Amino acid sequence: MALLEVQHVTKQFGGLYANQDISFMVKKGELVGLIGPNGAGKTTLFNCISGLHPVTAGRIMFDGKDITLLKAHDVARLGLARTFQVYVASGDLTVMENVMVGCFMRTRSRARARARAEEILAELHLQEVGESLVSELPVAAQKRVTMATALGSDPKLLLLDEVAAGLNPSEIEEIMKSIRHIHNDLGITVMLIEHVMELVMKVSDRVMVLDYGRKIADGDPESIARDRNVIKAYLGERFVREHKEALT
């Protein structure tokens, strides 16, 4: 069953086409990776899906409802949450308070919001820093906080925008565990933008590739890693050589 359907979506900024005639579906329970060069239109596509940018043409369906013309807060209420490439932490809010902000999407009760936030912090192993200011945490922990805040809205679909950017290998491994936990154990459908190919190829059921605003490939990780158009546009021959054994 399709949870998300993007139908011939185009997004134009003046004379620039950031997305051109993009169509795809995300099934309930899938984990889909979205990759491509810088400027390929990945974040713009997330912005269109989540209601931050109105589309120039096309239609977006979520959980059987047409969300094409909805604002971001209305899309979020339907169960679609997202993180952002750049996370600007509020200097005067603790980790707990940040996650509670997400929880207030589903309740007006401070007590219930705090109780739910405590559950989420435990799920992502953040309970020990619950009373710390987010701005004082290492980048890797801040990335998990933004994921926790998104989970507070109880999403059916979670869009993750480069949550592994700037992290070292051990931190990437921790983020990977969190993503798998959210997807496998919490049962949340996930779509993620990422430049860390080891993460994308290991966690994704399916990988979609954008280049110059167009979808150029869509398939399982192994077939994507062998696709000549994808290698030419983004991955490069070096990636294929270095991961040859893993892809056979």
What's the pLDDT score for residue 241? Answer: 63
Q: Specify which residues 215 forms β-bridges with.
A: 210
pLDDT in tens, 72-110: 999 999 999 999 877 655 568 899 999 999 999 999 999
**Per-residue pLDDT for 122 more than 90?**
yes
User: For residue 238, what are its two tokens?
Assistant: 């070096």
What's the pLDDT score for residue 248? Answer: 47
State how far Cα 243 lies from the chain centre.
Answer: 24
- Nearest to 123, CA basis, from 140, 97, 99: 99
Q: How many CB atoms lie within 10 A of CB 178?
A: 20
What's the pLDDT score for residue 87? Answer: 63
**Per-residue pLDDT for 184 more than 80?**
yes
Q: Strands (DSSP E) along 30-156, which ranges?
A: 31-35, 57-62, 65-66, 80-82
- DSSP structure class, residue 202: H
* Average pLDDT of the chain to the nearest whole number: 92
The domain ranges of the chain are: 2-88+155-247
- Answer yes or no: CATH 3.30.70.890 is held by domain 2-88+155-247: no
pTM of the model: 0.91
